Amino acid sequence: MQFFTRISALQKKYKSLVESILSLSFLQLANMILPLITLPYLVKTLGVDKYGIYVFAYSVCNYFATIIDYGFKLTGTRDVALNRNNPKALSAIISKILYSKLLFTIVSLIILSATIPFFNRYNESYSIFYFSFLVVLFTSFFPDWFFQGIEKMRFITILNLSSRLIFTIAIFIFIKSPGDYILVPLIGAIGGLIAMIGAWWIILVQMKLSFIRQKTSEIVKTIKESTPLFLNSLFPTLYNNTSAFLLGIFGTPAQLAYYGAAQRIVEAIGTSAVRILTQAFFPYLNVQKGQSKAVGKIFFFSGLLLAVFFIISAPWIVKYLFTEEFKQSVWLIRIIGLSVLFFAINDNYGTNYLLVNRQDKLLMRISMVVSFIGLSVAFPLIFFFKHWGAAFTILFSRMLFACVVFYFARRIELSTKSN
């Protein structure tokens, strides 16, 4: 009898965590399957040159995703998790974050408009940059951080899955020739808009939260609190996203397409799977800090299995999903796929340990130094070795970041035990 009582207690204790993992796992499964359907079709229909232009526009606008998010995915999740039973506090949190995002959106749009004329090689494709910005905008205003904080991931799953299904179906309906490449981000933006509206309807109507007018001082305070995490997410963008950006400048659209296709596959299956684990365990570890070692083993072996998967399966991925033109993507998938192991270590010891233990500024400094090293390596590697250099930049930077963040996390852990 006591055994069954303990089992029941454990079920209640871990119900939210299990529901979060299952919901996000289902979404991740869809995120793995749907790109495997659309990506080969886009690559074959658009061709290497037009697909390369699409990848370049996406890489440019991805900088603004980091600016508009400004670390709120983590600070928002953390603040919501700590105030989940206080409607007034939750209303204040969503209001401050929304006002901050609106400010960064205006700044981002001004910067984008001033930058586009300098991309002379892409002067016939200006509209694709604005359509790609819409994707970034609607994705950034999707309040996934709120649902993660209250550990109701099923809402994220339902809304994101609906958005991706709309995108998938629309791609096959409207994309028929290389000239339709401009429509790809526009279709993605429409799906993102629908998901965003649905999410805010749940928060404002069903949960009966509301927007509260905020003082400028409160908005500034919110931005300051998120600045370390913004910098922590910005600096990795300098080598992750800049690899595609620099390849678009120094390389050809075809080389960018080889690299972009490989990166999208690894992103869809590998790094996205690790992010799902992070999203599920981050709010849980804020409450159950003593479970960090057990969670760390899950991250390490998950990253290792994913890396081995990419190394072994790369030839079959290219053979069955792409065309003969993409043979060079085989080794690119292997190189970038190996970096997933280090990406998992980064998320575990960075987000799930240093951030949970309020070491935001330390993680920011680590990220800053490693990212500048990665950026300095990216320029010569990509200039001389093009798409191969871009792939090795990702691998080197993630490996270095994993080593440094592991060292500091272990040092803090040993220091805590000795005290």
pLDDT tens for 89-108 read 999 999 999 999 999 999 99
1 located within any domain? no
The predicted pLDDT at position 6 comes to: 46
- Residue 34: what residue type? L
* Domains: count for the chain: 1
Q: What is the pLDDT of residues 142-164, one digit of tens each?
A: 998 898 888 787 777 888 888 88
pLDDT in tens, the chain (419 residues): 443 344 444 445 556 666 666 776 677 677 667 877 898 899 889 988 899 999 899 888 988 988 999 888 888 888 898 888 899 999 999 999 999 999 999 999 999 999 888 887 777 778 899 999 999 999 999 998 898 888 787 777 888 888 889 999 999 999 999 999 999 999 999 999 999 999 999 999 988 898 888 888 888 988 988 887 787 777 767 667 788 889 988 988 889 999 999 998 998 889 888 887 887 777 777 666 666 778 888 899 999 999 999 999 999 999 888 878 889 999 999 999 999 999 999 988 888 888 777 787 788 788 888 888 988 999 999 999 999 999 999 999 999 999 999 999 888 887 776 66
pLDDT of amino acid 10: 42
Interhelix angle 183-201/126-140, rounded to 10 degrees, is 20
- Report the alpha-carbon distance of residue 301 to residue 221 in Å, rounded: 39
User: Does 45 fall in a domain?
Assistant: yes
Cα–Cα distance list, 106 to 100, 109, 137, 155, 217 (Å): 10, 5, 11, 28, 19
Q: What is the pLDDT of residue 7?
A: 40
The pLDDT value recorded for residue 269 is 85
SS (H, E, C) the chain: CHHHHHHHHHHHHCHHHHHHHHHHHHHHHHHHHHHHHHHHHHHHHHHHHHHHHHHHHHHHHHHHHHHHHCCHHHHHHHHHHHCCCCHHHHHHHHHHHHHHHHHHHHHHHHHHHHHHHHCHHHCCCHHHHHHHHHHHHHHHCCCHHHHHHCCCHHHHHHHHHHHHHHHHHHHHHHCCCHHHHHHHHHHHHHHHHHHHHHHHHHHHHHCCCCCCCCCHHHHHHHHHHHHHHHHHHHHHHHHHHHHHHHHHHHCCHHHHHHHHHHHHHHHHHHHHHHHHHHHHHHHHHHHCHHHHHHHHHHHHHHHHHHHHHHHHHHHHHHHHHCCHHHCCHHHHHHHHHHHHHHHHHHHHHHHHHHHCCCCHHHHHHHHHHHHHHHHHHHHHHHHHHHHHHHHHHHHHHHHHHHHHHHHHHHHHHHHHHHC
* 389: in domain: yes
- Specify if 7 maps to a domain: no
pLDDT for the residue 321: 85
Q: Domain of 220?
A: 16-418
Determine, yes or no, domain membership for 251.
yes
Whether the model pTM is above 0.95 = no
Asked if residue 10 is part of any domain, the answer here is no
5 in a structural domain = no
**Is 6 part of any domain?**
no
